[in-house]
A and B are shown apart, each in its own frame.
Chain A
Amino acid sequence: MTAPSGSEIKVIPIELMPKTRGYLPRGLTFLAVAIIILMLLIIMTNIILNGIGVIDWGFLSRPPEDGMTAGGIFPAIFGTVALVILMVIAVVPVGVLAAIYLQEYTRPDSYLMRVIRVAINNLAGVPSIVFGLFGLGFFVGFVGGGMDKIFGNSQGPVWGQPAIIWASLTMALLTLPVVIVSTEEALRTIPRELKEASYALGGTKLQTIGRIILPQAMPGILTGAILAVSRGAGEVAPIMFTGAAYYLPYLPSHLHDQFMVLGYHIYVMATQSPDVEKTKPILYGTVLVLMVLSFMLNFVAIFIRSNMRKKRAGG
């Protein structure tokens, strides 16, 4: 393209602004990080310094004594671990199967599936106290009460009262969206080519899911389980009405027993103690144990997951 002869190419003068150095954004973002780290440090040092003193073998292995102003927290540790294990047993299979259905057996982009997905995400946003009330009404009252009627427990409620099984199921319901979402995320990342390779070799859908899709999605499923465990170990509201006991001198030995749990024990000691000053060191110690316990659970799961990743990549 040549300009017609006689015309001139015009250049409009513009002035580029001089660049400022980006001190401000850098400073602001750094400040945000610094605040977070500072808060974390304050919380951690406060708990560790005040809590470490009471922790010894006796504290970890004995039940509370003298109205929780002395003794240990063993029933609460036991109850927390038992609660989390039962919850995982309930939530992982249901969550994984639901995610497989949503991703593999339906058209994930269809209108109905989008509505279902929104519903699941909303489930995650329901306040935990609502789950607690639901668990009381549905599991304890309806399911448990119904079981008592069927089994004819006329002496008094056996299943139809707060118990570790109902607390675990309530907690499973609360953590279900986490497991579904992270499993779905993992299923989405599995390359279409791998599924096609399996189909092309005569693999059925079930075989493809069992032999190719699930092993590939395992790290994602574990991530979901980790998140569920972290949440489950710390939540108090959903189990207050459904199974957690204020104080129990014995350990739960049956699914329909009540149980003590660390989070609720902390709440009880902080608000209901007859002697707040005497309870304080035990309270700090309990908080420290709860934190270490959930870190440990996380750590174990992360370890398993990274091992699995290495195995998959290497051989």
Chain B
Amino acid sequence: MPAADKILETVMEKSVETTDDRQFDINNLKMTIRDLNFYYGANQALFKVSLDIEANKVTALIGPSGCGKSTFLRTLNRMNETIPGIRMEGTVLLDGKDIYKEFKDASVIRTRVGMVFQKSNPFPKSIFENVAYGLRVNGINDSKTIKEVVEESLKNAFLWDEVKDKLEVSANMLSGGQQQRLCIARALAIRPEVILMDEPASALDPLSTSKIEDLIGELKKNYTIVIVTHNMQQAARISDYTAFFYEGVLVEFGYTKMIFSRPQKKKTEDYITGRFG
């Protein structure tokens, strides 16, 4: 697709020339977003957002409520398409391919770009079936394979030891923190390349939160992670890059340590120091 190539070229140029302090490994970009406009009916929620997401890194999206960061996150796996009355302009590339134009079916994108939601949302099925679901809907029926992948996914989500004796119990019986790790295990089972997390720890107690954060630190070895968070400390602790959104505009984007120590924009500084938001 020539259009995508052209965009990639400009991406590279831009990435090189705007190096203020960020040194992207431009050969290691997992996703590239260019000039993204997003509308809910007549309301514009995102204004010309451009952003690069590096592979095997954690990119945090921060900003006050309603700033568009969740909307942005949901454009990365076409989850927004499930909402009626939306409209989008711009490009989202995954490994250089336009996910809106070069994939007919959004479900294919979502097997490559997984998602964990703010509120844990296990299916009203057993723990085992929750993790197996993604495999089954993607045509994997071999029970031995499913069993192995379920075990591996639960182990990778640090949940196996707690549930290995009760895989047939309903997922609703788990605690909130366990449910969220189950949702992560479920997302891992189909081996996505990117995992989007929409405030995954906002409804959890501190102990469960720190477990999720440890888990994210482990996961980035194998996955690219984009996480929306309201918690400044969390963004500072776990992310490599931070993007600050305000009123639908990407105000500032760069290395997390730069954003938190020497923000370039006044708005960013005001927000991370708690002057508003």
Q: Known contacts A107-B85, A216-B124: does B117 contact A201 (CB below 8 Å)?
A: no
Nearest-CB distance from A215 to chain B (Å)?
8
- Are the C-beta atoms of A200 and B79 separated by less than 8 Å? yes
Nearest-CB distance from A90 to chain B (Å)?
30
- Are the C-beta atoms of A198 and B133 separated by less than 8 Å? yes
Binds A, one of B4-12, B60-68, B88-96, B183-191: B183-191
- Are the C-beta atoms of B105 and A204 separated by less than 8 Å? yes
Of chain A, the residue at the smallest CB distance from B82 is: A199
Distance, CA A313 to CA B121, complexed state (A): 15
Of chain A, the residue at the smallest CB distance from B105 is: A204
- Are the C-beta atoms of A197 and B117 separated by less than 8 Å? yes
Query: A211 within 8 Å of B by Cβ?
Result: yes
- Are the C-beta atoms of B168 and A201 separated by less than 8 Å? no
Residue among A193, A199, A216 making CB contact with B107, cutoff 8 Å: A199
Distance, CA A220 to CA B198, complexed state (A): 32
* Residues 108-123 of chain B, each 1 if its beta carbon lies under 8 Å from chain A, else 0: 1011001101010111
Query: B126 within 8 Å of A by Cβ?
Result: yes
- Are the C-beta atoms of B137 and A191 separated by less than 8 Å? no
Chain A contacts with B in 301-315, Cβ cutoff 8 A? 312-315
- Are the C-beta atoms of A202 and B170 separated by less than 8 Å? no
- Are the C-beta atoms of A193 and B137 separated by less than 8 Å? no
Query: B169 within 8 Å of A by Cβ?
Result: yes
Distance, CA A33 to CA B138, complexed state (A): 56
Chain B residue contacts of A312, Cβ below 8 A: 124
Chain B residue contacts of A211, Cβ below 8 A: 133, 136-137
Nearest-CB distance from B178 to chain A (Å)?
16
- Are the C-beta atoms of B121 and A202 separated by less than 8 Å? no
- Are the C-beta atoms of B137 and A203 separated by less than 8 Å? yes
A-B contact count (CB 8 A): 75
- Are the C-beta atoms of A198 and B137 separated by less than 8 Å? yes
Which of A197, A204, A212, A312 is most buried by chain B, counting CB atoms within 10 A of its CB? A197
- Are the C-beta atoms of B170 and A197 separated by less than 8 Å? no
Looking at chain A's contact residues, the main secondary structure is helix
* Residues 199-225 of chain A, each 1 if its beta carbon lies under 8 Å from chain B, else 0: 111111001000110001000000000
- Are the C-beta atoms of A202 and B79 separated by less than 8 Å? no
- Are the C-beta atoms of B111 and A107 separated by less than 8 Å? no
- Are the C-beta atoms of B110 and A199 separated by less than 8 Å? yes
* Residues 74-102 of chain B, each 1 if its beta carbon lies under 8 Å from chain A, else 0: 00010100101100000000000000000
Query: B172 within 8 Å of A by Cβ?
Result: yes
Residue among B107, B123, B126, B138 making CB contact with A212, cutoff 8 Å: B123
Chain A residue contacts of B190, Cβ below 8 A: 201-202
- Are the C-beta atoms of B137 and A200 separated by less than 8 Å? no
- Are the C-beta atoms of A199 and B79 separated by less than 8 Å? yes
- Are the C-beta atoms of A196 and B126 separated by less than 8 Å? no
Nearest-CB distance from A217 to chain B (Å)?
12
- Are the C-beta atoms of A197 and B79 separated by less than 8 Å? no
Of chain A, the residue at the smallest CB distance from B131 is: A201
Nearest-CB distance from A92 to chain B (Å)?
23
Distance, CA A287 to CA B210, complexed state (A): 68
Chain A residue contacts of B119, Cβ below 8 A: 193
Q: Known contacts A199-B79, A201-B110, A204-B107: does B168 contact A315 (CB below 8 Å)?
A: yes
Query: A280 within 8 Å of B by Cβ?
Result: no
Of chain A, the residue at the smallest CB distance from B119 is: A193
Nearest-CB distance from B96 to chain A (Å)?
21
Query: B134 within 8 Å of A by Cβ?
Result: yes
Chain A residue contacts of B124, Cβ below 8 A: 194, 216, 312-313
Residue among B84, B85, B138, B169 making CB contact with A202, cutoff 8 Å: B138
- Are the C-beta atoms of B82 and A201 separated by less than 8 Å? no
Distance, CA A198 to CA B111, complexed state (A): 11
Of chain B, the residue at the smallest CB distance from A195 is: B82
* Residues 272-315 of chain A, each 1 if its beta carbon lies under 8 Å from chain B, else 0: 00000000000000000000000000000000000000001111
Of chain A, the residue at the smallest CB distance from B81 is: A199
Residue among B114, B122, B169 making CB contact with A200, cutoff 8 Å: B114
- Known contacts A199-B82, A312-B124; can you find 7 more A-B pairs with CB under 8 A? A196-B82, A200-B114, A202-B111, A203-B134, A203-B137, A313-B124, A315-B169
Q: Can you list 5 A-B pairs, Cβ within 8 angstroms, ordered by A?
A: A194-B123, A196-B79, A199-B107, A201-B190, A202-B110
Instruction: Enumerate the 6 nearest inter-chain pairs by beta-carbon distance, A residue then B residue, closest first.
Output: A201-B134, A202-B111, A193-B121, A200-B115, A203-B137, A197-B121
